[in-house]
Structure 1
Amino acid sequence: MKTTSKAALLAAVTGMVFAAQTSGAFAQRSLFDILFGEQPRVDRRGATLEGPVGAAPVTNGARASSSRAPADFDGSDPDPLPTVKKSQYFTYKPEAQRPVKVPASAGPVVTGSVSSDGTAAPLAPVSVSLRAEDSIASAMESFYAKGDTYLWITNEAVTDRARAAAAVLQKAAEVGLNPADYKVDEPILSGDPAADRQKLMTFELEMTKAVLTYVQDDVRGRIDPNRISDYYEFKRKDVNLKGALAIMQRSPDVAAYLSSRDPSSPQFQALKAELARESGAANNDQKPRIEVSLTSLLRPGQSNPELPKIIELIKQHGSDGLKAENAMTLESYTGSPDYAPELVDVVKAFQKEKGMKPDGVIGKSTVRALQGGDSQGNKVNKLIYAMEQARWLPNDLGSRRVFINQPAFMVYYFNDNKQQLAMKVVVGGVNHQTNFFQDQIETVEFNPYWGVPRSIIVNEMLPKLRQDPSYLDRMGYEVSVRGKVVSSSALDWGRNPDVDVRQPPGNANALGQLKILFPNKFSIYMHDTPQKSFFARDMRALSHGCVRLSDPRAMAAAVLGVDKDKVAADIATGKNMSVPVPSKIPVYVAYFTAWPNAEGKVEFFDDVYGRDTYLQRAMDATTKARAQG
């Protein structure tokens, strides 16, 4: 860049800093507010992403491209700008299936298999070609190694225990599974001994495969979430399928055993009960649902032909008190598309009643509330997705735990299985999504440094630094290379220096006064923020990936087992300090568009990241692969 251009940029940056300082705003604004705030970044769904956030040295599992330490400038062109790769979604690949190597068997002795002279006819070996996932194939191979052990057939027919097991498989939808994945048709015997032996053995093996698949799916879920995206991080549960076969061989009630494999957590049971209710409602005749189609926000004073539908929905879903208070307006409304002031007041009242920001602006969240939430069909799907994802988590979430539900933009603290805290959070924007994983809270850090994430250094700061290397020094940020503190203006940013940047503690620190750490490969954590205004928004997917807390002192006090006065005193020292929690606490950084609240009532939320769509694709791919196997 020409020298004059650098000078111009430097002057502009200096002016911005000076203006912020003289206006008194400097203490409330961070480096990114001042340098990058003049052009808000907008994600692909139109959400504004503002300000610095506490993501990690590499957010969202990102990997930095190779970089080098500073080198003497040799006059050549600077290295191309590197980038830090973001997490991504994959084309889902179901579990591979392989041949099941069961020894060829004579099969069951079918009545009538005698020769013309009355002696037993020699039995030709029966061979069944079958493919299954490796874990299932291995369990079957071990069980049938002797070649004469059968679970579901006798010498002549299918057993009642087989029919009892099949009845459970046919009701798989009640626990959020797909009955098509476990369908096995009972054979129709013809009286031909050879043909019937083949049919019975085929049924035996296919039934065993179906039952084992059901048991495995019921315990750990159908889908490997790590194959959907690297936004997920889960170790799949181990399921003892060999032990399951041994139990079923001895059990007098196979159906009861299969049902016992359902997750027993109160959260799963609440989802299951809600699925039964919503499935019944979806199958019954319902009053036609009013669908509102807004392509943009409807603001006061504007006109839109969808407005009559909106007013009708308020009549349907507003409280009796709201309708009584606004009876004159509602009764006199003639269906005009003009969003007049008196109608704005009605909408504001409805928004306030639903716990939303009462601004009278009608957007996606307001329409969803007006329609009473999702349709029955959407609710059923969200419940199925939630039940699948619940299987990825421990059956017992822990009597003391922290549970973050990203689509709800909320975090909850439980002690002795009782919810003691619930507060609003800000999570990652669509372009900086917060991951889905579980971990353990280990420490609370007061007056933290903000270690600027590698992704922000590379993707957002480096282009600016190449134009003006000194601004980090002016803003008080610390720059180090391999642990040695250096001046940012002394570095050759044209050579992609491998540096660390951090913001010291203070009022403008991006992490506020504290952060709560649960070390993970995504370097996501919970923290305070100076940008309190974000908590007034309904849609709070606005950060670079970390989780901002609306009441961080309350959460810190809860996990440390102290009162808020103690937290305030630690902050008041102004010293950077890390305090370990007395005992590690499970934390779930979760993503559920349907989840029960503290009273057990299932609530539904918008799919802010579109992850339900990817999960559905994975389910479809799995069912297709199993049908072909």
Structure 2
Amino acid sequence: MTMTFAKRSGLSVLALAVALTGTASTASAERNLFDILFGNRANRQRVAEPPRQQPATTPAPRVAAPKISAPSFHDYRPEAPVKVDFAAIAAALDEEDREGGAAPSPFLEALAGLAGFDLRAEKEVAAALVTHYERNPGFIWVEGAGLNDKADAVLRVLNDASAFGLLEGDYAVNVPLAASAVLDTPEERRQALIRFEMALSARALRYARDAHLGRVDPNKLSGYHDFPKKPLEAAAVLEVLARTKKPAAYLQSLHPQNTLYAALRRELKALRASAEKEIVVDTETFVRPGSSHPEFPKILQIIERDADAAFRAEHGEVLVAHAGSETYAQELVPVVKAAQDLHDLNPDGIIGRRTVGALAGESKQARIDKVLLALERLRWHPSHLGNRRVMINAASFTATYLEDDREKLSMRAVVGKPSNQTSFFHDEIEYVEFNPYWGVPRSILVNEQLPRLRRDPGYLDRAGYEVTDSRGRRVSSASVDWNRYGANIPFSVRQPPGPANALGELKIMFPNKHSIYMHDTPAKELFSRDTRAYSHGCVRLQDPRAMAAAVLGTSVDEIGREIGKGRNARRDAPQKIPVYVGYFTAWPEAGEVTYHADTYGRDDNLKKALAKVEEIRVPGS
């Protein structure tokens, strides 16, 4: 109606803006006209303008533009093995032997054989050895002049470390032969046996720590990793090994006892045993319909190789007709789109990095490497993940709800950008908030909004945000001299509920220091993309109502009714549900292990850390 009036009266658009706004400033008039005609939805919802504060009479000095940095990756430094202090054991037991006056036991007779023995172990392991053998001066693994059954069982576990994705060389022990010309004197035999005793105890404890905790301390990798320290006392482990009749079963029980770990182990075994003939495609291949590429015949060959009966029935003739062709003919577009759809890709018919990766897969060695890294990452988690849980995998851009290890719900997710990565941690879901407020994180306020506010102080008012001071009083953003503040801005900013709210209809909360949660979003178009790393760290859900219903134990209809009330409300979960915010480039889902790109570069970071651990654990240390 306004534009029609302008045309009929002969007024220009700009003149109309001046008339409506009462200002002759061209830029201001254009901006005000835009707000009048197309002002954002949040602005239209505002009931009353907050009171404006009078600006200070004397301008405060301008503060340099600040920047809140994201967490960084660290230069990983593994724990260096230390020399075991066998002299402390000898001194303590020698004093005890003198006080007792009894004939020395076989262990005490052999104790002198530790003189000059340079055994290296992690600091806690070395201390546990000294503590245990001071208190329990006897053999665990030796009987008579040889090894006992317990030693044989543990050695088999250590020698099978690779089946769990560990390195057998980290647990190598020199085993004295039953009969050897080198050990033909009693003293030499005793020395070999007591050194074997200490070495096996040290390596069994290293294995226990690696199986239960992982070889790498995740929190030393980057600021994005945040895991509580898992309890495992080396001294207590050695006590159990000394007492139990089944030390092998005990050691293996220290590995994660969940279906994800078991699935990855099966995948590792299958990959190592396979003799597959790979079709290797250049990962940088890019082909559009109508163009040609020397790698294109391989793509067709792979599609044909992996096609099932239904796919062949529909597309087999076209594939045969174009076999070996380097030209991407139009008739092949439906074939490529169908293949993309089978791999849960955006079926756009364009062959790029994601399509090549999904169709051709990665090399066998690359997949093995990713499984090994996934096994290591699972060791950072609790052994038992919980009967009800939510698994978020940033690498696959998915969120899954499970009950009794069965996937009840799985959906696409949008996670943090590489510059604002979603952290790697686990917590518990406590409640769902409907029609939520969005409290603008300090990093976004400082890094993104503050530069704009310095140019345009009233931006937050027009966009419908609420600004409060340190006492909780509402103020107008236009009244604040934003130039005087750096990273420590004494104001809080939040966006009220509504259609434009960044969190959409609801958010699912598992309170944590990273301010990460799952939520709805008005930006639905991002879910159609194959790579979905676009957020500031939180996890946007494709179907948030379904996830909220699952964690609250109710129906989607009930969630809709709660949202429809239009008011901000909270509902607690009947019980806290574990949520795992992870990063796995090899991930068991829907009955098979899938492989994903290393969007955050964390695989390379972890590989370097593991290489340093391997290097510092040189043979014999």
Question: Does TM, scored on the shorter chain, surpass 0.5?
Answer: yes
8 Å Cα contact 2:289-2:328 kept in structure 1: yes
SS in 2 for 1:298: coil
Aligned residue for 1:602, secondary structure, equals strand
Give the conservation status (yes or no) of the 8 Å contact 2:43–2:463: no
Question: 2:142 is paired with a residue of what secondary structure?
Answer: coil
**Cα drift, residue 326 of structure 1:** 2.9
Match of 2:554 in 1: 562
Which residue of structure 2 aligns with residue 112 of structure 1? none
Q: Provide the C-alpha distance between the structure 2 equivalents of 1:495 and 1:487, rounded to a whole number of angstroms.
A: 16
What are the within-5 Å matches in structure 2 for residues 548-559 of structure 1? 548-559=540-551
State the distance in 2 between where 1:171 and 1:12 align: 74
**2:604: which partner in 1?**
613
> Which of residues 383, 398, 403 in structure 2 aligns to 1:415?
403
Alignment gaps of 5+ in structure 1:
1-6, 32-69, 108-120
Aligned-partner residue type, residue 525 of structure 1: Y
Cα distance change on mapping 1:240 and 1:359 into 2, 3 Å: same
Q: Secondary structure at the match of 1:81?
A: coil
Corresponding position: 1:173 with 2:173: no
d(CA) in 1 for partners of 2:543, 2:197: 59
Which residue does 1:385 correspond to in 2?
A: 373
- Say if 2:574 is the partner of 1:586: no
Q: Which residue of 2 aligns with 1:473?
A: 461
Cα distance, 1:10 vs. partner?
A: 5.8
1:459 aligned onto 2:447: yes
CA distance in 1, matches of 2:321, 2:81: 66
Q: Which residue of structure 1 aligns with residue 212 of structure 2?
A: 219
Q: Which amino acid aligns with 1:370?
A: L
Do structure 1's residue 603 and structure 2's residue 594 form an aligned pair? yes
- In structure 1, the residue matched to 2:337 is 348
1:505 aligns with 497
For 1:555 and 1:604, locate their aligned partners in 2 and report how far apart those are by CA, in whole Å. 24
Runs of 4+ residues deviating >6 angstroms? 28-31
Counterpart residue identity of residue 201, structure 2: T
Q: How far apart are 1:508 and its partner, in Å?
A: 0.8
Tell whether 2:434 aligns with 1:446.
yes
Name the amino acid aligned to 1:263: P
- Structure 1 residues 174 and 334 mapped into 2: Cα distance closer, same or farther (>3 Å)? closer
Shift of 1:526: 0.6
CA contact (8 A) 1:126 1:197 kept: no
Partner of 1:52: none
- Equivalent residue, structure 1, for 2:16: none
* 8 A contact 2:113–2:190 mirrored in 1: no
1:254 counterpart residue number:
247
1:81 is displaced (CA, Å) by 0.8
Q: Whole-Å Cα distance in 1 between the matches of residues 37 and 419 of structure 2?
A: 31
| Greater RCO (CA < 8 Å, at least 6 residues apart) | 1
Q: Distance in 2 between matches of 1:148 and 1:9?
A: 88
How big is each residue's C-alpha offset from its partner over 1:488-514, in whole Å with a ceiling of 9 and x where there is no partner?
111111111432111111111110011
Letter in 1 for 2:353: K
1:78 to 42, 53, 62: 62
Distance 1:350 1:568 in 2: 36
Q: After the TM superposition, which residues 236-247 of structure 1 pair with which residues of structure 2 at under 5 Å, given as runs?
A: 236-247=229-240
User: Structure 1 pair 475/77, CA: closer, same or farther in 2 (3 Å)?
Assistant: same
Change (3 A) 1:81 1:420: same
| Structure 1 equivalent of residue 83 of structure 2 | 99
Aligned to 1:232: 225
Matched, 1:312 2:301: yes
Please tell me whether residue 533 in structure 1 is matched to residue 525 in structure 2. yes
Q: 1:296 to 1:449 in 2, by over 3 A?
A: farther
Distance in 2, Cα, partners of 1:122 & 1:611: 48
Cα distance in 1 for residues equivalent to 2:574 and 2:112: 68
Equivalent position of 1:516 in the other structure: 508
Which of the numbers 190, 196, 199 marks the counterpart of 1:206?
199
Conserved 8 A contact 1:224-1:236: no
Partners of 1:105 and 1:148 within 8 A in 2: no
Native 8 Å contact 2:399 2:412 kept in 1: yes
**Are residues 1:326 and 2:284 paired?**
no
Cα distance in 2 for partners of 1:211, 1:605 equals 34
Listed as ranges, the gaps of 5+ residues in structure 2 are 1-24, 46-53, 94-108
Please give the secondary structure, in 1, of the residue aligned with 2:617: helix
Contact 2:258 2:383 in 1 (8 A): yes
1:300 matches 2:300 = no
8 Å Cα contact 2:60/2:484 also seen in 1: no
- Sort the Cα spacing of 1:225 and 1:122 in 2 relative to 1 into closer, same or farther, 3 A: closer
Offset from partner CA, 1:203-232 (integer Å, 9 cap, x none)? 222221100010111122211110111111
* Shift of residue 143, structure 1, vs aligned partner: 0.9
Q: Is the partner of 1:395 in helix, strand or coil?
A: coil
Which of 470, 474, 486 lines up with 1:485 in the alignment? 474
For the structure 1 residues 15 and 309, does the alpha-carbon distance in structure 2 shift closer, same or farther, using more than 3 Å as the test?
farther
Query: For the structure 1 residues 328 and 14, does the alpha-carbon distance in structure 2 shift closer, same or farther, using more than 3 Å as the test?
Result: farther
Identity %: 43
Q: Aligned equivalents of 1:30 and 1:427: distance in 2?
A: 30
Over 3 Å counting, the alpha-carbon distance change for 1:248 and 1:122 in structure 2 is: closer
Structure 2 CA distance for aligned equivalents of residues 594 and 543 of structure 1: 22
Aligned to 1:117: none
* 1:233 aligned partner, one-letter code: D
CA distance in 2, matches of 1:446, 1:142: 56
Deviations 1:536-582 (A, max 9, x none): 11211121111111111111122222222222222112111122222
Deviation sequence 1:287-318 (CA, Å, 0-9, x none) = 2x222225364322333222222222222223
CA distance in 1, matches of 2:247, 2:389: 35
Distance 1:580 1:104, change over 3 A: closer
Secondary structure at 1:173 match in 2: helix
Change in Cα spacing, 1:301 to 1:554, as seen in structure 2 (3 Å) is same
Query: Residue 267 in 1 paired to residue 251 in 2?
Result: no
Equivalent-residue separation in structure 1 for 2:43 and 2:335 (angstroms): 37
Distance 1:77 1:260, change over 3 A: closer
Contact 1:28 1:530 in 2 (8 A): no
State the shift of 1:446 in Å: 0.9
SS of 1:545's partner is coil
1:209/1:535 Cα in 2 relative to 1: closer, same or farther (>3 Å)? same
Q: Name the stretch that deviates more: 315-324 or 165-174.
A: 315-324
The equivalent residue for 1:111 is: none
What is the total number of aligned residue pairs between the two structures? 563
How far is the alpha carbon of 1:375 from its aligned partner?
Answer: 2.6
Instruction: Provide the TM-score with structure 2 as the length reference.
Output: 0.84
Alpha-carbon distance in structure 1 between the residues aligned to 2:293 and 2:213? 48
Q: Which residue of 2 aligns with 1:90?
A: 74
CA shift for structure 1 position 385 = 1.6
The one-letter code sitting in structure 2 at the alignment partner of 1:553 is: R
Q: In terms of Rg, which structure is larger?
A: 2
Equivalent residue, structure 2, for 1:365: 354
Displacement of 1:436: 1.2
Instruction: Give the helix-richer structure, 1 or 2.
Output: 2
Decide whether the 8 Å contact of 2:255 with 2:383 is kept in 1: no
Contact kept in structure 1, 2:113 and 2:195, CA below 8 Å: no
Q: Distance in 2 between matches of 1:317 and 1:73?
A: 75
Q: Specify the SS of the correspondent of 2:194.
A: helix
1:627 aligns with 2:618: yes
DSSP-derived class of the 2:72 partner = coil
